[in-house]
Amino acid sequence: MQKFDVTGMSCAACSARVEKAVGAVPGVTSVAVSLLTNSMGVEGTADPDDIIAAVVKAGYGASLHSAAKAPAHDPSSSSASSRAHASENALKDTETPKLVRRLILSAGFLLVLMYVSMGHNMWDFPLPSFFDNNMIGLALVQMLLALIVMYINRKFFSSGLKSVLHGAPNMDTLVALGSGVSFLWSLWVVFEMTHLMAGGAAHEEIHELYHNQLYFESAAMIPALITIGKTLESISKGRTTNSLKSLMDLAPKTARVLRVTSCPIGDAPAEREEVIVPIEEVAVGDIFAVKPGESIPVDGEVLEGESAVDESALTGESVPVDKAPGAKVSAATINRSGYIKCRATRVGEDTTLSKIIQMVSDASATKAPIARIADKVSGIFVPAVIGIALLVTAGWLIAGKTAAFALARGISVLVISCPCALGLATPVAIMVGNGLAARNGVLFKTSEALEITGKATVIALDKTGTITSGTPRVTGIHPVSGVASDELLGKAYALEKMSEHPLAKAIVDEYDSSSCNIVTNASEFAIHSGHGLEGVIDGKKIHGGSGKYIRNFAELPTEMQQAEMKCAEEGETPVFFEEDGKILGMISVADTIKDDSAEGIRQLKNLGLSVIMLSGDNQKTADAIGAKAGVDQVIADVLPEEKASVIAKLQGAAAAGTAAATAAVSASAPGSSPSAKNRVIMVGDGINDAPALTTADIGIAIGAGTDVAIDSADVVLMNSSLTDVAAAIRLSRKTVRNIHENLFWAFFYNAVCIPVAAGILSWKMNPMIGAAAMSISSFTVCMNALRLNLYNMRDSSHDKPLHRGAAPGLISDATVQMPLHGSGDLAGGTVSDDSSESDPEEITIPETEKRSQLMKKTLKVEGMMCGHCEATVKKALEALPFISYAAPDHDANTCVIEVSDEAAWDEDLVRETIESKDFKYLGEA
């Protein structure tokens, strides 16, 4: 994507004009203009010079984004820093100081004007005697003061005129027209007053014109009030980028690098001394030191020392992480305790912090789909308003009103209309939401990802590394009678430490972390690949491996056979050990579920998503892990290359008309279309997850994943926690709700205020009041977006399904049509033998064994008006002993319930409960 800085835009009509102009350039495939950051992102093969020329031709200025103009990355140069400084400068608020100066100057002259025009006339404030009964003199003073205020705010007039000449009138056009027409009309009135005076007209006639038809104060007040609104808007817009600025501020400016001061002599190492250098001078391979309390300057690997590092700036996790030699550290994290030496592995724009900043910045340059409605309206808004103003003016003249009255109504329509609120409704909320997410370790790559994530109905989780830790650990030590646990572990360690197998490493790690002090070594070591190990310890032959392998050397006692079966049921791998024909015992090893995975899955289900686990394990092992984790569905025996196909089938199941929709998605809300496409989230961490992440509507890569997975994802989690997936969904929904509020306000404001300004409601609005209302509207939208900063995206106490009628986790048996590879039973269901290329196999996806078969009913309930009504009905019904879940929907006048005890179902009690809360029960739907 090419990024550009755009100048001269003042409202949504401007951004719409720029998008239209650039979109017509050959080679441009997509363009997104941000009024908030005055930037533009362009995708395609078009030449940058052609793009800039199109913007200039449209009447605006453009240049390559300042960060993009920095030289190519060179670890030994300061280019990375140049890019960082350029990005920082791009976010620097240069507009607000200019607006403040304009506002102060305008206010000074405007106060004098208001004193002369209103203070003297309405409240008899004193003026020099020269002006006694001198209406012409007072009018000329007002004209001069109005001209000064209009000159101070001349940008409205120059921008408005330029936009008209380019055939794209904008908000500045409305302001310029409103102020300019007021001034010109007043100037005509002055000429009329002069003419009447020269003709000897009565003083009362001139006095009438002066008091009732002069609008010099409106001509000055309109641009001054709009400047107030622009200033407030600029301040609040600046605050929306505070999160990104705070991320940039985290970047350390210097590093404590160890420089060689003398060459090595003989075996003696080279002497090094600590030198504090600018961060730009740190190169890959440099050794740097970090004292307690200091920030880590660049990404690196710990060479010496141990410490606890506070990574909250990147991950949002407040608990410091222990670091020892070999551990990775990231720039901008804080060393809390020990002194450590590290080797730089990534510097400049390659550091984790720089990539986060770039990701958040890039996201702000994209446009959310929800913004398209406002864009379409903004493109025709200003011409439409000018047309309405002309019609209003003509209408009142035809109705017999005076020209002054008619012009006042037309001017009010011009100045009260506000396209800015429409243009800012989406980008300010997206910017604040992205910043809040970044502070909490969640990175949305595009605005579209932020919008769509919360709309998902199905989430597919890769098992290894996502639900589980991805590293086998010992889960149990089971010696036979007469053998101590330490003896079994010690001999197993002596044998397994010679192997590189992951199961062997788990046993070695268990020994290292235990209090076992049995130290021995194995000789005559041999590996039987795929089966087990053998060696000699203290003169005795020992074998270790699977039950099948060990049975070749000894008979498993009943207790070990039972332990083996239990391991299989719980998804664990048993490793047996025997010594000279006698079983020593069994050590169970498993890729254990992460501590917070079950909680994360619980939160996802509470949010109304159906949770599906994809695993390459056999069905029995996968079911065991799925049951522990609490997922709704388990699809086992999935080959890596099949994951993308599974995601595609889940997305298209409903559209294909099969019953598979219910295996992929929660029960639909009442009234929803059964043929709607399922929105599917895929969460993974490995290279083999990349195709599935790309295929899914939203791909989420966990922070511990591979670079390929992260590059393929739409959302990146700095923490490897499923609770952060729930947090991302929560924030997405909150942000979209905030955008809806902003758009509602923007449309409602214009829909109500334009008729009022036109005088339809018999209220004669002064143009100054219209200008004040316009100045407030954009500020209100920005302040509403800033409320997102107060939102706690990790608070799950208010979680509920996106669709009120959906009962989370209700998944029925279904079939998914997809080809099989090899002998894998993809879903653990029945597989037909008569497959063909044109007739793919049907794989039945059963419900998990733990799912309760609950009766579901839809009740008709009238009288609910809002979310509070729904909460009242929900709380009342769920208090009944035979109802486990209730989902009222005031829009559909229904309530979906789950009956946990069908025998205890009592419709009369249900009716009584609903009607006791002043709602009407109409029976079952």
Strand-pair category, 698-702 with 680-684? parallel
Strand partners of residue 308:
322
Element at 377 (helix H, strand E): helix 371-398
H, E, C per residue of 81-124: HHHHHHHHHHHCCCHHHHHHHHHHHHHHHHHHHHHHHHHHHHHC
Name the residue among 325, 333, 341 with its Cα closest to residue 257.
341
- Which token pair is 461? 């989780």
DSSP 3-state of 172: helix
Cα separation, 769 vs 225, whole angstroms: 9
**Catalytic residue status for 462:** yes
The one-letter amino acid code at 560 reads M
Strand partners of residue 634:
613
- Show Cβ contacts of residue 804 under 8 Å, excluding neighbours closer than 6 positions: 669, 870, 887, 888, 889, 891
- Which token pair is 647? 């995601």
Indicate which residue of 462, 617, 632, 889 is catalytic.
462
Biggest CA-to-CA distance, the chain: 134
Cα separation, 246 vs 837, whole angstroms: 57
- The per-type count for the chain, helices as H runs and strands as E runs, is 31, 32
Name the one residue in this structure whose structure tokens are 């495939």. Answer: 29
Are residues 192 and 214 in contact, defined by beta-carbon separation less than 8 angstroms? no
Name the one residue in this structure whose structure tokens are 């240069």. Answer: 94
**What are the start-end ranges of the E strands in 220-373?**
254-262, 271-278, 287-290, 299-304, 307-310, 321-323, 328-329, 334-335, 340-346
Residue 156 to residues 8, 37, 144, 222, 573, Cα–Cα distance (Å):
11, 20, 18, 11, 74
Are residues 39 and 363 in contact, defined by beta-carbon separation less than 8 angstroms? no
Cα separation, 923 vs 920, whole angstroms: 9
- Which token pair is 570? 């719980």
Strand partners of residue 920:
862
The set of catalytic residues is: 462
